[in-house]
Structure 1
């Protein structure tokens, strides 16, 4: 089974950005924390149930400025998979390029990032049974 897991936005002020979405669209603020990467991470849920993550730069990371111009691509969207490695191999056969090896992102979650056709960055997420 494949389903869209979340949309991820980047912001220099993640909490304020999240609060704007709460006000503007009725998002629910689910969690606000600093991850091991050093970035502030705010998780929201849309009224329809879609998770929208908003984070700042990671430690030592310099983000390119945002643009309102029309352009290709987005930060990333996440897809939950049963196991990372077989999916990485399958997606590479379809033209994806692995840009971040699998790593533990939080308790019970492993992630990796790939660039897929169209220069779109996706995150694969494996939830590990406890």
Structure 2
């Protein structure tokens, strides 16, 4: 795959308005395109952060979406690198973002840096990381 790169992740949600607000207000994504009534879905929306996109969509009409389970196969989380992790955590606390804690801590040290994990309204786990040396 010469000259290839990851373009987007697709995330489904049953809490569309809350999810759009989370990704735009808390994480800084911008809405690039919002399409109502998209092939049996209430919405299909493209969100962008830098060169990375999320295709956010509601389930198809009369479809029941099951909750995300973090111990399943497939993508477990995605990560956003931030310059000042403590600043971002304090900013997100004011927005009542739900953090996943480890041993009672929001920010914890890992090899080559520190990280925290957020849980989006639809259940996606998002890691914020401040790397050293990677």
User: What is the TM-score when the length of structure 1 is the normalising length?
Assistant: 0.48
Q: Looking at CA atoms only, which structure, 1 or 2, has the larger radius of gyration? A: 2
TM-score by length of 2: 0.46
